[in-house]
Chains A and B, each alone.
Chain A
């Protein structure tokens, strides 16, 4: 356990020194500034519009909030993929790993330490952006979304899954190949989600089934769709639009995503243990 903490600590120090955290925070801040300005203007306009009812205004604010969370989710997933993309492969290529792995340390602890360190950073990033959205909605429009306590853990699971895939890929592939593979994996999930929604709205069962199969292969995006469903009031669910809640992943998909994360982490450990350094 001490070794895991030592490696995790080095990962955090390294991320701070390389200004990765700073770059991520600047991007998050830029997004939140744009988002808060947009919310403030939209709310002022809505309040000034006498024909807009309270319910319509709340629904519109929910859509704006979902838009914000969609962007936050995308940024957090990219952060989770790109942050650790070279953490194993890069250190193997540069020879840094030889010095570490020759020490009396189980290679599993190297993987777990790096995973834990990057996970802390990715969660911090997600919570920073999500917290910024919630705060903006509250201050600028007095809007408080529902089921945040359900939605945020789902997004955290999505981030953890994306990050784990990135680390597992790095245990086997070169940095560039791993980056392409991870983005492709997420892209497939994203497209699969759309296919499933279109299938659900158009009543085309084959498309819906295909989307579900894709979600099983790559369950990351389904966590976002489930989180989005939780964040909307009952009246909006199943109505489609931005939230794409025509076909909602079942709670079983959450277990699958969690299991997928664990299995991927075990694969990373197994692969890295066998890898010639």
Chain B
């Protein structure tokens, strides 16, 4: 669905996206995460040909970036959706439907269905200037789905929505997933992302720095150990059970670590008894074993590191 190689965008001296290499598969609900200023929106704009990349290549729906035939099969909800506020929701959707080449009864029927789905049918003949932020976002979502797209870009779709609105959006994303539609989701609400996405990537300063599969919940457990002694042999042995082993380095090689703290990322908590058993066999004294599943927010903070400041 989406394939990019080293997409880069520079605005004058400002580097917005350094090196974006992505692969998004068909039918996937894909989360695109990162702090403010990480280049997420610019990346989406490059994929939609709203911004021309400085370098790099990419394909969307099998066609080069900007291809008009491909754009006919794409839906897009921009961040802070806005439109001419003198129009009614029906008029707005009719205009966008015409840009997709839709006409007549088929378009009107589609508009009615979508307005019903986003719970705006009763307000469809009111000018947009009287709409709340949440209503605007919902009518924006309806325009993104007008063409029954194969790929939908949602840039902060739950921005400004109350809990009921967020539930509605989540329901629509689930329906899209069931219909085999690929969803590219950019959101700061990590709880929402965790509930809806199959896979996420983390973007930092215009680069993809990490990737996680959420649907299988793989690699989202973390095991905290307090054992004695902690040395290079123990750390090496733990790599059989998990990855991303973190322990304060001993001052000298083969010397015990004084803090006795180790964290290991494991695929599932089912492996914990095996780890404990192995440690006992190694003659290690175990003071504490604490497995816990990391929330996406924990993962996000870990990935971004301490050098990232609030945007």
Q: Which of A18, A94, A99 contacts B76 (CB 8 A)?
A: A99
Contact B83 A96 (CB under 8 A): yes
Interface residues on B, range: 20 to 34
Q: Which of A14, A99, A103 contacts B71 (CB 8 A)?
A: A103
Contact A277 B100 (CB under 8 A): no
Contact A6 B87 (CB under 8 A): no
Contacts of B82 in A (CB 8 A): 94-96
Query: Please, which residue of chain B has its CB at the minimum distance from the CB of A101?
Result: B50
Residue A13 at the B interface, CB < 8 A? yes
Closest Cβ–Cβ distance, residue A175 to chain B (whole Å): 16
Contact digits for A178-200, partner B, Cβ 8 Å, 1 yes 0 no: 00000000000000000000000
Query: Please, which residue of chain B has its CB at the minimum distance from the CB of A107?
Result: B49
Complex formed: what's the CA distance from A274 to B50 in Å?
9
Interface residues on A, range: 20 to 34
Residue B208 at the A interface, CB < 8 A? no
Contacts of A18 in B (CB 8 A): 86
Contacts of A94 in B (CB 8 A): 82
Residue B167 at the A interface, CB < 8 A? no
Query: Please, which residue of chain A has its CB at the minimum distance from the CB of B72?
Result: A104
Complex formed: what's the CA distance from A78 to B79 in Å?
35
Contact B68 A99 (CB under 8 A): no
Contacts of A274 in B (CB 8 A): 52
Query: Please, which residue of chain B has its CB at the minimum distance from the CB of A10?
Result: B95
Closest Cβ–Cβ distance, residue B135 to chain A (whole Å): 16
Residue B45 at the A interface, CB < 8 A? yes
Complex formed: what's the CA distance from A10 to B98 in Å?
11
Q: Which of B71, B79, B87, B98 has the largest count of A CB atoms less than 10 A from its CB?
A: B98
Contacts of A104 in B (CB 8 A): 68-69, 71-72, 99-101
Contact digits for B80-104, partner A, Cβ 8 Å, 1 yes 0 no: 1111101100010001101111000
Q: Which of A3, A100, A274, A276 has the largest count of B CB atoms less than 10 A from its CB?
A: A276
Interface secondary structure of A, over-half rule = helix
Closest Cβ–Cβ distance, residue A269 to chain B (whole Å): 15
Contacts of A105 in B (CB 8 A): 68, 99
Query: Please, which residue of chain A has its CB at the minimum distance from the CB of B99?
Result: A103
Contacts of B69 in A (CB 8 A): 104
Residue B257 at the A interface, CB < 8 A? no
CB within 8 Å of B: which of A150-197?
none
Residue A102 at the B interface, CB < 8 A? yes
Contact A6 B95 (CB under 8 A): yes
Closest Cβ–Cβ distance, residue A2 to chain B (whole Å): 7
Contact digits for A221-258, partner B, Cβ 8 Å, 1 yes 0 no: 00000000000000000000000000000000000000
Known contacts A2-B98, A104-B99; A276 and B50 CB within 8 A of each other: yes
Contacts of A102 in B (CB 8 A): 48-50, 71, 74, 76, 78
Residue A98 at the B interface, CB < 8 A? yes
Query: Please, which residue of chain B has its CB at the minimum distance from the CB of A3?
Result: B99
Contacts of A106 in B (CB 8 A): 68
Contacts of B143 in A (CB 8 A): 99
Contact A98 B45 (CB under 8 A): yes
Closest Cβ–Cβ distance, residue A18 to chain B (whole Å): 6
Residue A51 at the B interface, CB < 8 A? no
Given contacts A102-B74, A103-B71, could you give 19 more A-B pairs where the C-beta distance is less than 8 Å?
A: A3-B99, A6-B98, A6-B99, A10-B84, A17-B84, A17-B87, A18-B86, A94-B82, A95-B81, A98-B50, A98-B78, A103-B99, A103-B100, A104-B68, A104-B72, A104-B101, A105-B99, A274-B52, A276-B45
Query: Could you name 13 residue pairs across A and B whose Cβ atoms are closer than 8 Å?
Result: A10-B95, A13-B91, A14-B87, A17-B87, A95-B82, A99-B81, A101-B49, A102-B49, A104-B72, A104-B101, A105-B68, A105-B99, A277-B50
Enumerate the 3 nearest inter-chain pairs by beta-carbon distance, A residue then B residue, closest first. A17-B86, A103-B99, A104-B72
